[in-house]
Amino acid sequence: MIIQVKHHLGEYPVYIGADLLANPQTWLSHIKGRQVMMISNQSIAANFLPLLHHHFKHLQCDQFVLADGESSKNWQNLQQIWDALISQGHRRDTTLVAIGGGVVTDITGFAAACYLRGVNYISIPTSLLAQVDAAIGGKTAINHPRGKNLIGAFHQPQAVIIDTHSLRSLPERHFRAGLAEIIKAALIQDQIFFHFLENNSAAILARDEKILTQIIYRACQIKAHIVMQDERENQQRALLNFGHTFGHAIECVFDFKDYLHGEAVAIGMVLAARLSLTETGLTVAEFDRIVALLDKLTLPCHLPPTIDSEKLLQAIYQDKKNSHQGLNFILLTKIGQSIIKSIQPEILKPLALPSPS
Amino acid sequence: MIIQVKHHLGEYPVYIGADLLANPQTWLSHIKGRQVMMISNQSIAANFLPLLHHHFKHLQCDQFVLADGESSKNWQNLQQIWDALISQGHRRDTTLVAIGGGVVTDITGFAAACYLRGVNYISIPTSLLAQVDAAIGGKTAINHPRGKNLIGAFHQPQAVIIDTHSLRSLPERHFRAGLAEIIKAALIQDQIFFHFLENNSAAILARDEKILTQIIYRACQIKAHIVMQDERENQQRALLNFGHTFGHAIECVFDFKDYLHGEAVAIGMVLAARLSLTETGLTVAEFDRIVALLDKLTLPCHLPPTIDSEKLLQAIYQDKKNSHQGLNFILLTKIGQSIIKSIQPEILKPLALPSPS
C-alpha cells in the first residue's frame, strides 16, 4: 500500500506492507546517487543492517550506529554523523538511510537537512510509534538539555518504508505505546476508524499482520492528510497534538524515565477527553468508550497516585508558553472530531490531581 | 529602493538606501513577535547595537556578540546562540537580527533556521561583500574544520536592510574586496552594468554614496533574479560561482589568511576569463577590459609568484569533487554572458602557474 505525501517542494511515497525490506525493488529507485550512509541504533542494527548492506552493495555504503535511547538524539552524535559524512567523502547527491525508531529517524532527518545545506534521506521506521508518527511530516530534530526537539528543521524524506515485519521483534511495552498514537489519529479525525479499533483489539494485541497493516495505513493517511494542509504547523497540524500537552508534562515530571511517550500520551488523551466533557460537549458515554479502548489495549489511563500536581501544572504552563499559543488545547467535540480551544488556567487544576489509589 | 525576492514559501524585501538604520519605520514592521535577539560581532557591535536597541525598546531585546573573523562561524558559537535563546525564553515568534558581515549573517540565518525548527530573521549586512552576496538568497551555514559552509540550510529572511551609511566605516581593503562580487554580477549577466562600472570607477573608490547605492542595487537585482529561478542551486544559480572555483582554491592554498574572499575571487575571475578565451570565445579585448577594471579598482589580478601550482590544482579538483558536478566551470562567452561548461583537467594546468615575478 502506498500513501503519497505532497509538500511545497515535491512529494514522497510512504510504502506500507509486510516484508518490504527483503524486497527492495519497490523503493531502491529513491536512492539517486552512488553513496548511502545507514544510520541506526545498537539494538536494531544487527537485525537490519546486513540485509540493507546487501541491497546497497553496488553503492558506497557507510554506517553509523547510535547507542539506544532518547539521550542519543544529541549534539555530539549529530556532529559525529556529519564528521563521518565529511571524512568518508559524501557528496550532495548522497542519501542517508534511517533504520530505527523515532530517535534514529529524527536525528537522521536533521543530519540530512543541514549536511551541505540539505541532502536526501530515506526513513525506515521500525517501531510502531515511529511508523505512525515520526516518519511522516518532515519534522526532524535533536534534543537540548533544556527540552526535547528544540533544535531541528522541516526536511522531507525521499521515501518512507514501513515494513510491518519489523514489528515482530518490537518489545511488548513499546508496541502498546505505539498504539496510543493510532488511537489518537482515530479520535481526532475518524469515528469509523475508532470503531474498527474497538472491534479488533484482540487481533491488534496478537499483532495480526493484516490488521496491523490496515491500522498503520489508516493512521498514516490521517497524519499525511493533516500535514499536507499545514506543512509548517501554523494551524491545523496542532490537532495532531491531542493529548500531547498533558502527555509532555507527564513525561517531564517523571524526567522522561517512568513513562514511554505513548503511555504518557494515553493518560494525556484521557485528561484532554475529560476536559472535553465540560468544554466541548463530549458525552460521558464517549469518554467511557475512550477509556475502555485504551484499557483494552493495556495502556495506562490515569495519573499515578504519586504525581505532584503542582509540578504537573507548571510543566503544562511551560509547554504552552513555549508554543506561544496561550493556553490553547486540542479537545474533542465527539469521537472523531477535534478542535482547538482556549482554556482558562483554573479549569486545569482539578485535572492535575492524582487518581485516588 | 526595494527589491522583492520571491521564494517557494513567500517573499521578502531587500531595502537599499542611505540611513535606513536611523529610520526604522520602513522595516520595523517585519518584526512580528515581541522578542528580538540581535547578533553581531565585536568590531561592529558598538557602532550599531545602541541605535537598534533604541528602536527595539518596546520589545524583549537580547544580544549576542561574536568575536571578529571567519573562525567565529563555528559550532561552539552556534550552540551558544541557541543556549542564549532558550535560557532567555525566546519563542517561535521571536526574530533574530543579524548586524555584520557575511560571518554574522550566515551564522544568524542558520541559528534561525534550526531554532524550534525555524524562526524569523532579519539581515542587516554592513560589509559590501555581505550586502551584494551573503544577504540575498537564503544560504545560511557554519564552517567545519574540514571546509567552509559544509553545515547549513536554506532559510529565507523576513527582510534585508542595506544601509549604505554602514560602508563609511568599512576598512578600505574590505571595501575593495566587496567590489569583486559586484564586478562578477556584471560579468555574468549585464554588459551595460560592466560599462557603468568602468565609467564610474573613480566615484566608486571615493565611495560616492549615490553611485554606491546604484551599483549595490543592480548587483542585488542580478543575484535576486538568479536565485529566484533556482532557489536550491540545482542549475542556474551556479552562474553566481563565476571565479569562485579558482577563488576558493586560492583561499584554501593560503589557508584563508593572505587573501580576502573578494580578492581571491578577483584573481579567480581573471583565470576563469583566461579559460574563456580558448573555451567559450571571449575575445582578448574583452579579457583586457576585465583585467583593466579589476586593476583600476585596485583588486589583485594575478596569482602570486610564490604559489604552489600543484597544491592549487589539487584544491580545484577537491572543490569540484565536493560539488559532484565533474569539472564544470562557469565561463564567459562575452562580457555580460556566462555559461556552465565541462572542462578537461589537463587544460587547467597552465592556468595554475604563478605569474612571473
B202 touches chain A (CB under 8 A): no
Q: Which residues pair with A341 in a beta bridge?
A: A329
Nearest CA to CA, how far is A25 from chain B (Å)?
26
pLDDT band at B255 (very low <50, low <70, confident <90, very high): confident
Q: Which residue has the cell 583588486?
A: B299
| Cα–Cα dist B219/B222, whole Å | 5
Instruction: Answer yes or no: is pLDDT of B42 > 90.
Output: yes
Higher-confidence residue of B232 and B242: namely: B242
User: What confidence score (pLDDT) does residue A325 get?
Assistant: 52
CA of residue A245 relative to chain centroid, distance: 15
Is there a catalytic annotation at residue A174? no
Residue of B nearest to A148 (CA): B116
Give per-residue pLDDT as tens, A236-253.
889 999 999 999 999 989
pLDDT for residue A355 is more than 80: no
Band (pLDDT 50/70/90 cuts) for residue B194 is very high
Is pLDDT of B289 > 90? yes
What pLDDT, on a 0 to 100 scale, did the predictor assign at position A247?
93
**B114: Cβ–Cβ under 8 A, 6 or more apart, which residues?**
A110, A114, A151, A152, A153, B82, B153
Residue of B nearest to A319 (CA): B91
pLDDT of residue B320 exceeding 80, the answer is no
User: Residues 6 or more apart from A150 whose CB is under 8 A from it?
Assistant: A141, A143, A144, B82, B86, B115, B116
Asked whether B12 and B227 are in contact (CB, 8 A), the reply is: no
Q: Verify whether residue A30 is a known catalytic residue.
A: no
| Residue A352 pLDDT | 78
pLDDT digits over A284-307, tens only?
Answer: 999 999 999 999 999 999 999 888
Mean pLDDT, rounded, for A41-48: 94
pLDDT at position A8, please? 86
pLDDT 10s digits, B237-253: 899 999 999 999 999 89
pLDDT in tens, A255-266: 888 999 999 999
Mean of the pLDDT values across residues A267-272? Answer: 96
Worst-scoring range by mean pLDDT, A143-157, A322-336, B172-186? A322-336
Q: What is the pLDDT of residues A2-24, one digit of tens each?
A: 999 999 889 999 999 999 999 99
CA separation, residue A86 to residues A116, A117, A122, B145 (Å): 10, 13, 19, 10
Average pLDDT over residues B220-242: 90
Closest-CA residue of chain A to B110: A114
Residue A318 above 80 pLDDT?
Answer: no
Distance between CA atoms of residues B315 and B252, nearest Å: 7
Asked if pLDDT for residue A218 goes beyond 60, the answer is: yes
Residue A163, C-beta contacts closer than 8 angstroms, at least 6 positions apart: A17, A18, A19, A20, A21, A124, A126
Is B345 in contact with B316 (CB distance < 8 Å)? no
Tell me whether residues A146 and B87 touch, CB distance under 8 A: yes
pLDDT tens per residue, range B69-111:
889 999 999 999 999 999 999 999 999 999 999 999 999 999 9
Return the higher-pLDDT residue of A324 and A99. Answer: A99
And the C-alpha cell for A280?
466541548
Which residue from A242, A223, A222 is spatially nearest to A332, judged by alpha carbons?
A242
Is B144 in the A-facing interface, judged by CB distances under 8 Å?
A: yes
pLDDT over threshold 60, residue A45: yes
ipTM for this prediction: 0.91
DSSP state of A241: G
Beta-carbon separation of A118 and B154 below 8 A: yes
pLDDT at A317: 83
Q: Which of A218-222, B173-177, B249-253, B289-293 has the lowest mean pLDDT?
A: B249-253
Which of the four pLDDT bands, split at 50, 70 and 90, describes residue A322?
low
Reply yes or no on whether the pLDDT at B220 is more than 60. Answer: yes
Q: What is the pLDDT of residue B338?
A: 96
pLDDT of residue A272: 96
Closest partner CB to A117 (pick from B8, B79, B154):
B154
Q: What is the pLDDT of residues A108-146, one digit of tens each?
A: 999 999 999 999 999 999 999 999 998 899 999 999 888
HSE toward the beta carbon, residue A311, CA cutoff 13 A: 12
Q: Which three cell numbers stand for residue A175?
A: 508496541
pTM confidence score: 0.93
Does B116 have pLDDT greater than 80?
yes
Residue pair B81/B97 in contact (Cβ under 8 Å)? The answer is: no
B33 touches chain A (CB under 8 A): yes
- Report CB contact under 8 Å: A139, B117: yes
CB-based contact B116 A150, cutoff 8 Å: yes
Catalytically annotated residue among A237, A263, A274, A286: A237
Model confidence band, residue A321 (pLDDT cutoffs 50, 70, 90): low
Whether A323 has its CB under 8 Å from any CB of chain B: the answer is: yes
Using a CB-CB distance cutoff of 8 angstroms, which residues of chain B are in contact with residue A147?
86
Mean pLDDT, range A39-43, rounded to an integer: 96
